[in-house]
A and B are shown apart, each in its own frame.
Chain A
Amino acid sequence: MHELKVYDQRMALSKEQIQHLAKLARIEITEEEIQQLASQLSDILAHFEALEEVNTDDVIPTAHPAPLRNIMRSDEIGASLTREEVLELAPETENGLIRVKAVLE
């Protein structure tokens, strides 16, 4: 386990923040995982603070390194998977549809 340095404590993640992130990410987590993630993510993020040193005024962000823009294909109907092939993969189906758990109470 890493000891958090003084400057790290300022940005250490709280239990509530971890719970909120887990909710956003739709992952159920245990109390033990909350503790561990709070400590590990805080440690990792503390190392990333060094980015603050870099002057990025007027620097255009890079989303990807390919020298390409907006590659489009023509809107034409082509071959695709069949309904049967897709349903074959689903955990549960009914009447040719994918069955899910209750969405509304």
Chain B
Amino acid sequence: MTELWQLTAHAANKGLRGREFSSIELTKSVLERLHSVEPAVNAFITITEKIALKQAKEADKKFSSGTATALTGIPIGIKDLIITKGTRTTAGSQILGEFIPPYNSHVNEKLEQAGTVMIGKTNLDEFAMGSSTEHSAFGATSNPWDINRIPGGSSGGSAAAVSAGACIIALGSDTGGSIRQPAALCGVVGLDPTYGRVSRFGVIAFGSSLDQVGPIGRDVEDVATILDCIGGHDPRDSTSNPEPMPDLRHYLDREIKGLRIGVPCEYFIEGLEDGVRSQVEEALLEFERLGCEVDRTLSLPMTKHALAVYYLIAPSEASSNLARYDGIKYGLRNESSDEIWETMERTRAQGFGEEVKRRIMLGTYALSAGYYDKYYLKAQQVRTLIIQEFNDAFTKYDLIITPTTPDVAFPMKQKVNDPYAMYLNDIYTLPSAVAGLPALSMPCGISEGLPVGLQIIGNFGQEGPILQAAHAYERATNGGNLLASL
């Protein structure tokens, strides 16, 4: 028999509407599952059981009064980079270890209006800097498919929790792949929306020209439903896209015959694991069977430069954004000195982890006198060329399909002391991030007992066709709602 925690959000919504079970029952089932898997997975920094039960009760009232939405009563995990009023928000860092936000993020306001049930705040690489969730001040998260392996990162807690059934849906954030890469490695669906689609008001800043909040779920429909809830214009974020939200649900259950798909050769080079390659090739055949025009002649030569561009721009922006953590106004303060500058230096030395310090230093260097033109400005110019290359490609194609990652989940500790090897894990997710394009990762098979992710990149503002293709593929392959057996 299916347990309630195993349901997708849309299946749970049907059950809640039909009064087959209550939101309280659903929430208790998810919490019970969470408590049984959490000792092995460590997906959460804070578990908000009391809030969850209170919100579940309110959700049940909404069903009685007929004011329920598609997400009412659905247990959700929220990445701990996203501010939640009154609930500790740490960014996975000691420096915000006890920070209780006095206001709410835009996305959490939206979720609360929709009536979701917050299960907890999920683990992440500190300030979202990392690809394995090992760089968290609150301990590493394990991949539910194999607890000796990493779940990806930085939204590793969110992806692992959804994959393990410790929540039904989750929010993540993506700067260079932080939603898609963990979604791929945990066998769930994650969408990095178009830059500006989702307001960052109340989202702790990392790389402001790249950061975007997005959904993680166990199938394509759930991801569409979450984006539908959190997306749209918000005047409190000056980069928020003023265009009206597309009607995402309109794209589900539609044929994809005739859709033009470009497959760039630069994503199928040395370093791509055979098991990942063969699953992705298999998926491309499926798209052909569904009537798409799959074209393998696409070349995006700027792809290889995206890593350098990203790892210059993101740390530069981070070095500026993280200057605010100085031990003065809020957060940790090291008290060992009587002098203000030394207090700041020691506070930051104590409060930041190794990777955060490394990126602040890298960014400070790239922005410093004498190196600005060579590194930061150059990276911004090459960024323009990457965008132009995508623009050209999207005159010929509706979508671009690639693997999400070069390999399946790797063992813990394997790359944590080799920063560049860790950065290489993002090579397929960085180009679209740099260009601000929407991109989704979904499961497309198993290799060595671990999930493989398929990445679907769309044109700027075009989440619709991505969801259309992803949904059609999921249907055709009887995919969706993949749970790690744990």
A interface residues with partner B (beta carbon < 8 Å)? 2, 13, 17-18, 21-22, 24-29, 33, 37, 40-41, 43-45, 47-48, 50-52, 54, 56, 59-68, 71, 73, 81, 85-86, 88-92, 98, 100-103
Contact = CB atoms under 8 A, between A and B. Distances in A.
Nearest to B242: A68
A21 B361 contact: yes
Contact of B343 (A21, A60, A62, A101): A101
B380 A101 contact: no
B418 to A, nearest CB: 8
Given A56-B385, A102-B340, 11 more contacts: A25-B364, A27-B352, A43-B420, A44-B423, A45-B362, A48-B311, A56-B382, A89-B99, A89-B100, A91-B331, A92-B333
Contacts of B208: 64
B304 A81 contact: no
Contacts of B418: 2
B36 interface: no
A2 to B, nearest CB: 8
Nearest to A104: B340
8 contacts: A13-B365, A27-B348, A27-B349, A51-B382, A56-B385, A65-B435, A66-B196, A91-B330
A61 B342 CA distance: 37
Nearest to B424: A47
Interface residues of B, number: 72
Contact of A68 (B196, B327, B379): B196
Interface stretch (B48-56, B116-124, B172-180, B233-241): B233-241
B346 interface: yes
B90 to A, nearest CB: 14
Interface centre among A18, A33, A48, A61 (most CB of B within 10 A): A48
A56 B196 contact: no
B188 to A, nearest CB: 26
Contacts of A29: 349, 357
Contacts of B267: none
A63 B436 CA distance: 11
Interface in B169-202: 195-196
A22 B341 CA distance: 12
A66 B239 contact: yes
Contacts of A89: 99-100, 102, 329-331
B352 A56 contact: no
Interface string B278-311: 0000000000000000000000001011011101
A98 B340 CA distance: 13
B19 interface: no
Q: Which interface residue of B302, B304, B345 has the most chain A CB atoms within 10 A?
A: B345
A25 B308 contact: no
Contacts of A67: 460
Given A48-B308, A48-B375, A63-B380, A40 B358 contact: yes
